[in-house]
Amino acid sequence: MFEDEVIFQVSGSTMRSWAVKGVGATVNSLPGRSSMKALGAVTAESNPRFHFRFAPVFNQETFEAFLRQIIRQYPKTKIHMVLDNVRYHHAKRLQTWLKTQKKRIELHFLPAYSPQFNPIDKVWKATKKASIHNRFFQNTDHLHATIFRRFNRFQGNPCSLRGIMRSYVPDKL
């Protein structure tokens, strides 16, 4: 399972698109830096499973709550989670909790500055492309509802993740 965090801005993002020469599109944006944060994890298998949790901040407490959520989803399986080296992934209090859960979950860290090895980054990119590129959001509630629908689509339809995860899942022999 691969884990990472993401921030979605209310201001959205603009992306190049096709238009008739001389006629362009305008994407409105409100001033400010309102955003929403999410933690996510995806399995690398033929039917990928996606898990997420919205959080007000990224820290040891919200990360531990996410890990607890994941453990509840897999009661009979030991989880091997691959993730980056952000500071709160190594927090002392978290390490203490992980020692009590070593039969349930084990963390494996990627080398520094190597997001290309984490398939959840492709999930974030696909989410942004499908949900927030060239879109106007009036507030964080509107953004939250849009992202929540996309995440639920990933959870309810693993096929929607299959193409994104294709390069990380070995072909059947």
Residue 126 near residue 84 (C-beta atoms within 8 A): no
Query: Which SS3 state, helix, strand or coil, does residue 148 take?
Result: helix
Tokens of 139: 């507030």
What is the residue whose two structure tokens read 């509107």?
142
Q: What is the tens place of the pLDDT at every residue in 92-143? A: 999 999 999 999 999 999 998 888 889 999 999 999 988 888 787 888 899 9
Under 8 Å between Cβ of 119 and 165: yes
pLDDT tens for residues 142-154? 999 999 999 999 9
The rounded Cα 143 to chain-centroid distance in angstroms is: 15
The chain-wide mean pLDDT, for the chain, equals 87
Cβ-proximal residues to 131 (8 Å cutoff; 6+ apart), any chain: 146, 147, 149, 150
Q: What is the pTM of this model?
A: 0.84
Q: What is the pLDDT of residues 7-31, one digit of tens each?
A: 998 875 655 556 677 666 655 555 6
CA distance 172 to 162: 14
Query: If residue 95 lies in a helix (H) or strand (E), which one and from where to where?
Result: helix 92-100
Q: Find the helix or strand (DSSP H, E) in which 123 lies.
A: helix 120-131
- In this prediction, residue 171 carries a pLDDT of 65
Burial (CB count within 10 angstroms: exposed 0-12, middle 13-18, buried 19+), residue 12: buried
Query: Is residue 35 over pLDDT 80?
Result: yes
